[in-house]
């Protein structure tokens, strides 16, 4: 093995040195005019071939990432590595951060345009995978899996908690308005607003429909492609829910209110669980037909789970299928952050707006829960903390509510109660997405 390496390195050294020698001999040949012409011809030919080799190497170099790298590419690659590091080292949503992180690296390897390499070049493999994002195919499939995972029984037991899921959608519309004031046009603002829904698939779905870089506005300009920034913002804030929400909870909810104990939810019969997806599907999609792809798949998945006859299908939907789609979605969304499209002022604004929308959504949920408490009496009172779970971010925000409740009363278990606004937040943000889509699509 060592011998082979030695021979190889000697050969490569020779290859690199010989052109230099050849060039030197060329100069000497020019100086000595009396040399034999035939010999000279041979030498020139040789020199030409060396030059050709040099040209080839040069051309090859021009095709490599080293020649084409821009500072933006390097920054994004570092961000991708940080994502992977966070996912592996701190177990921070690894199922999302690792595919997205590797996607960010994939999307930012510098290349020469026109060879069907990049995600935005038609015909490239990545572009075909990205098709599922651009056409909004992946998000409904994710929703199918979520539906097959979710247990709606706490919501059926206590339907009034559904209003908390609606209240948190204030964040969506407030951000929408904020984006308008910052100078985004209507469809872009709509897509940015949905970050407040705290639902990754919904955000991708809506931005792929509204801010996809293809649609043409009434005044003749094309909308910007904001899928990458919006998706990254939505997913990163979802991962940051445990950081963003607790301070707001402590700010808005008094210590006394935080200790309110809720009576345990009643048992829900299987019949009710089976009727829920069908009835909810019909009711919600009649009101907001544009959210049909999302809500249809969500409730379809839930029916698969609850019917008791299609356990096989439900099992596939909540394990294999959602895994496959998550892999594809993560990598392609990551890869869509190609530096020349991603590093813009707009992306920064979107990140800022995303943070604000999360705060507003959380506040909306909490304040509405307090408002509801004014009308509820006795042990029907709800713990206002669960309002924060109205931003979807299933199941993280419910978990945050639970731990926050435990901090003020170590025997107050809120997880089950918080799941109700949590899942209704998913339904609410899908309806909100449908409304925005029907207005602006």
Partner 1 sequence: MMFLPLFTDQISEGYVILITGLIIVFSALILLSLFFKYALPIMLYIYKVITRRKDKKITEISLKSDRNFTGEIAAAIGAAVHMYMNEQHDHESAILTIKQVKKTYSPWSSKIYGTHNRL
Q: By CB under 8 A, is residue 252 in contact with partner 1?
A: no
**What's the DSSP call for residue 262?**
P
- Nearest residue (CB) to partner 1, 28 versus 222: 222
Q: By CB under 8 A, is residue 262 in contact with partner 1?
A: no
Q: By CB under 8 A, is residue 436 in contact with partner 1?
A: yes
Q: By CB under 8 A, is residue 96 in contact with partner 1?
A: no
The binder of partner 1 chosen from 165, 277, 334, 384 (CB under 8 A):
165
Q: Are 99 and 330 in contact (CB under 8 A)?
A: yes
| C-alpha–C-alpha distance, residues 258 and 409, integer Å | 8
The binder of partner 1 chosen from 150, 202, 284, 347 (CB under 8 A):
284
| C-alpha–C-alpha distance, residues 419 and 150, integer Å | 10
Q: Are 164 and 387 in contact (CB under 8 A)?
A: yes
Could you say which residues in the range 392-431 bind partner 1, by CB under 8 A?
A: 424, 427-428, 431
Q: Is 46 exposed, middle or buried (0-12, 13-18, 19+ CB in 10 A)?
A: middle
- Nearest residue (CB) to partner 1, 101 versus 421: 421
Q: Is 26 exposed, middle or buried (0-12, 13-18, 19+ CB in 10 A)?
A: middle
The binder of partner 1 chosen from 42, 131, 439, 441 (CB under 8 A):
439
Rg (CA), the chain: 29
Tokens matching residue 308:
């008791």
Report, in Å, the least distance between residue 158 CB and partner 1: 9
- Nearest residue (CB) to partner 1, 145 versus 425: 425
- Nearest residue (CB) to partner 1, 133 versus 294: 294
Write each residue from 325 to 354 as x if it is in contact with partner 1 (CB under 8 A), else as -, in one continuous string: ------------------------------
Hey, how many other C-beta atoms are within 10 angstroms of the C-beta on 319? 13
| C-alpha–C-alpha distance, residues 226 and 219, integer Å | 19
**What's the DSSP call for residue 318?**
I
The binder of partner 1 chosen from 139, 145, 190, 196 (CB under 8 A):
190
- The whole-angstrom distance between residue 344's C-alpha and the CA centroid of its chain comes to 18
Q: By CB under 8 A, is residue 217 in contact with partner 1?
A: no
- The whole-angstrom distance between residue 32's C-alpha and the CA centroid of its chain comes to 69
Report, in Å, the least distance between residue 254 CB and partner 1: 26
In the block, tokens 């908390």 appear at 164
Report, in Å, the least distance between residue 273 CB and partner 1: 11
Q: By CB under 8 A, is residue 102 in contact with partner 1?
A: no
Contact range with partner 1 by CB under 8 A, out of 32-40, 56-64, 107-115, 163-171:
163-171
The binder of partner 1 chosen from 121, 151, 272, 315 (CB under 8 A):
272
- Nearest residue (CB) to partner 1, 84 versus 192: 192
* Residues 6 or more apart whose Cβ sits within 8 Å of residue 246: 400, 404
Q: By CB under 8 A, is residue 289 in contact with partner 1?
A: no
**What's the DSSP call for residue 93?**
S
Which of 328, 287, 284, 330 minimizes the C-alpha distance to 147?
284
Tokens matching residue 437:
């889509």
Interface residues toward partner 1, by CB under 8 A? 155-156, 159-163, 165-166, 169-170, 172-174, 176-177, 180-181, 185-186, 189-190, 219, 269, 271-272, 275-276, 279-280, 283-284, 287-288, 424, 427-428, 431-432, 435-436, 439-440
């Amino acid at each position: 093995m060592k011998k082979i390496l030695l021979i190889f390195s000697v050969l490569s050294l020779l290859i690199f040195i010989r052109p230099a020698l050849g060039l030197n001999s060329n100069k000497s040949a020019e100086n000595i005019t009396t040399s034999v012409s035939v010999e000279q011809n041979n030498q020139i030919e040789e020199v030409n071939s060396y030059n050709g080799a040099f040209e080839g190497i040069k051309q090859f170099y021009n095709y490599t990432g080293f020649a084409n790298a821009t500072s933006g590419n390097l920054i994004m690659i570092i961000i991708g590595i940080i994502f992977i590091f966070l996912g592996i080292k701190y177990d921070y949503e690894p199922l999302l951060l690792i595919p997205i992180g590797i996607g960010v690296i994939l999307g930012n390897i510098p290349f020469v345009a026109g060879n069907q390499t990049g995600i935005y070049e038609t015909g490239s493999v990545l572009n075909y995978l990205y098709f599922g994002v651009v056409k909004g195919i992946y998000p409904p499939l994710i929703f199918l899996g979520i539906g097959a995972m979710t247990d709606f029984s706490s919501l059926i037991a206590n339907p009034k908690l559904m209003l908390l899921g609606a209240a948190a959608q204030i964040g969506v519309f407030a951000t929408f308005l904020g984006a308008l004031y910052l100078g985004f046009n209507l469809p872009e603002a709509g897509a940015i607003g949905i970050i407040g829904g705290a639902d990754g698939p919904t955000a991708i779905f809506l931005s792929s429909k509204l801010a996809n870089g293809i649609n043409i506005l009434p005044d003749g300009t094309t909308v910007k492609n904001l899928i990458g920034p919006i998706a990254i913002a939505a997913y990163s804030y979802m991962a940051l829910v445990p950081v963003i929400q607790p301070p707001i909870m402590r700010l808005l909810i008094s210590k006394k209110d935080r200790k309110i104990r809720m009576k345990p939810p009643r048992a829900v019969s299987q019949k009710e669980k089976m009727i829920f997806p069908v009835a909810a599907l019909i009711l919600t999609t009649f009101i907001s037909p544009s959210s049909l792809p999302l809500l249809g798949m969500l409730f379809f998945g839930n029916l698969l789970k609850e019917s008791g006859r299609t356990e096989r299908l439900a099992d596939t939907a909540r394990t294999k299928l959602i895994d496959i789609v998550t892999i594809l979605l993560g990598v392609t969304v990551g890869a869509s952050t190609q530096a020349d499209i991603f590093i813009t002022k707009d992306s920064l604004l979107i990140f800022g707006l995303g943070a604000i929308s999360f705060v507003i959504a959380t506040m909306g949920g909490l304040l509405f829960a307090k408002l509801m408490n004014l009308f509820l009496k006795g042990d029907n009172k709800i713990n206002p903390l669960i309002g924060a779970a109205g931003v979807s971010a299933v199941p993280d925000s419910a978990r945050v509510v639970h731990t926050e409740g435990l901090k003020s009363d170590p025997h107050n278990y809120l997880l089950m109660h918080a799941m109700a606004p949590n899942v209704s937040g998913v339904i609410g943000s899908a309806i909100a997405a449908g409304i925005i889509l029907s207005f602006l699509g």
